[in-house]
A = this chain, B = another copy of it.
Amino acid sequence: MDEVIADVIPKFLKLYNRDFGTALDIEQTPGKEVFELIPEDVNRKWYEYINEPGFFRDLEPIADSREVVKKLHEKYDLYIVSAAMEFRNSLQDKYDWLRDHFPFIDWKHIIFCGNKIVNVDILIDDRIRNFVDFDGRKLLFSSPHNLLITEYERVNNWKEVAEKLL
Q: Which residues of chain B are within 8 angstroms of A115 by Cβ–Cβ distance?
A: 79, 108-109
Q: Which residues of chain B are within 8 angstroms of A108 by Cβ–Cβ distance?
A: 85-86, 114-115
A107 and B85 contact, CB distance less than 8 A: yes
What 1/0 mask marks residues of chain A from 29 to 53 whose CB sits below 8 Å from any chain B CB? 0000000000000000000000000
Asked if A119 is at the interface (CB within 8 A of a chain B CB), the reply is yes
What 1/0 mask marks residues of chain A from 74 to 102 whose CB sits below 8 Å from any chain B CB? 00000100000110110110011000000
Q: How far is the CA of A86 from the CA of B95 in the complex (A)?
A: 11
* Minimum Cβ distance to chain B for residue A25 (Å): 33
Point out residues on A near B: beta carbons under 8 Å.
79, 85-86, 88-89, 91-92, 95-96, 106-115, 117-120
